[in-house]
């Protein structure tokens, strides 16, 4: 957001003052300045700002370029269903069975339904189905300010994730709230390793692991034989993640869930030796990530053949 504002206001008298305004005001400026741009105009601008170079949409080579090309040219309702955190459950059930799904307690379109009397005594996670992030973890419902949570959820229900990165699949999702059981391992830890499997044309290729979530969230990248890769885009790798015993099953699940798409990231968890489905992500970070080294952007791009679409 700050980069967007700097780009628009670097020659303005109010300039950097905008950077210190409350987020709601900065979001408003961002919306006003980009709302009338076409998807292609927006993507070209955002790509230039985030990656500091022009994007090639005519003959894309880099992974990030090809993701942007897909955003403009590869659109169907299946993407919308699978980007919807509620409707994707039907897709997963059809492809691999309901035993991989995190238990769903209830879903609703009314934020007023989020109250203590509607929740169980055990920990749950509350999230909206149409955006990214913004989850609410309820470990002990008796110590939670539900009024505050309802206010936040109400605001989230009114937001459009499509407008942030122009990911078309989010445009027509009907917002709702879902409440799931909170996954924890046998030690009571809910900060689980996240296995994000990059799949190209139905073939798992790389596994990005996210661990130690929080202020110092870390990542490692592996190939499908669990060889550590010298690459990252979230943060420098600081820990070698032990090869999971369920690696073969992780890859089989990812293969089944990805076969309908030229590219998708299949996010999975392992809790006490059992695999759970997280989500399907078609445009990670909107396709505006900076890889280290930059050459990895080119390496990933080779796996995505746009001629097959």
pLDDT, one tens digit for every residue, the chain (309 residues): 445 545 444 444 444 555 554 555 555 555 666 778 999 999 999 999 899 999 999 999 999 999 999 999 999 999 999 999 999 999 999 999 999 999 999 999 999 999 999 999 999 999 999 988 779 999 999 999 999 999 999 999 998 889 889 999 999 999 999 999 999 876 556 668 899 999 999 999 999 998 766 656 788 999 999 999 999 887 666 677 899 999 999 999 999 999 999 999 999 999 999 999 999 999 999 999 999 999 999 999 999 999 998
CA angle 180/23/80 to nearest 5° reads 45
pLDDT at 61: 98
Structure tokens at 213: 């979530």
Structure tokens at 58: 């005519």
pLDDT at 192: 80
**Contact (Cβ atoms closer than 8 angstroms) between residue 160 and residue 170:** yes
pTM recorded for the entire structure: 0.88
CA distance 304 to 309: 10
CA distance 220 to 239: 7
**Contact (Cβ atoms closer than 8 angstroms) between residue 241 and residue 211:** yes
Partners of 263 in the beta sheet?
200
Give the residue among 170, 164, 173, 123 at the shortest CA–CA distance from 143: 123
Residue 226 CA, distance from chain mean position: 23
CA distance 84 to 157: 13
DSSP code at position 241: P
Under 8 Å CB-to-CB from 297, ≥6 apart: which residues?
Answer: 62, 63, 64, 291
Give the residue among 210, 135, 132 at the shortest CA–CA distance from 180: 135
* Residue 86, CA distances (Å) to 26, 32, 279, 280 in order: 30, 30, 10, 12
Under 8 Å CB-to-CB from 140, ≥6 apart: which residues?
Answer: 123
């Amino acid at each position: 957001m700050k980069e967007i504002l700097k780009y628009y206001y670097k020659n303005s008298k109010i300039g950097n003052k905008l950077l210190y305004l409350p987020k709601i005001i900065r979001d408003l400026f961002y919306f006003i300045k980009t709302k009338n741009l076409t998807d292609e105009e927006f993507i070209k601008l955002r790509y230039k700002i985030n990656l500091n170079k022009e994007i090639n949409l005519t003959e894309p080579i880099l992974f990030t370029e090809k993701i942007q090309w897909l955003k403009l040219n590869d659109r169907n309702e299946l993407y919308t269903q699978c980007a919807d955190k509620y409707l994707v459950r039907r897709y997963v059930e059809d492809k691999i069975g309901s035993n991989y799904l995190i238990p769903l307690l209830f879903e609703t379109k009314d934020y007023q339904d989020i109250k203590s009397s509607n929740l169980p005594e055990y920990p749950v996670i509350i999230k909206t189905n149409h955006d990214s992030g913004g989850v609410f973890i309820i470990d002990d419902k008796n110590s939670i300010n539900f009024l505050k949570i309802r206010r936040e959820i109400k605001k989230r229900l009114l937001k459009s994730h499509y407008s942030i990165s122009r990911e078309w699949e989010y445009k027509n999702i009907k917002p709702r709230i879902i409440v799931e059981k909170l996954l924890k391992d046998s030690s009571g830890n809910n900060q689980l390793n996240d296995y994000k499997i990059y799949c190209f044309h139905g073939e798992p290729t790389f596994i990005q692991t996210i661990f130690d979530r929080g202020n110092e969230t870390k990542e490692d990248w592996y190939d499908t034989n669990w060889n550590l890769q010298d690459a990252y885009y979230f943060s420098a790798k600081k820990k070698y993640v032990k090869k999971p015993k369920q690696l073969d099953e992780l890859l089989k699940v990812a293969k089944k869930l990805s076969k309908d798409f030229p590219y998708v990231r299949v996010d999975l968890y392992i809790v006490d030796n059992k695999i759970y489905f997280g989500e399907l992500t078609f445009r990670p970070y909107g396709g505006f990530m900076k890889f280290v080294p930059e050459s990895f952007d080119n390496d990933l791009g080779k796996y995505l053949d746009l001629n097959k679409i």
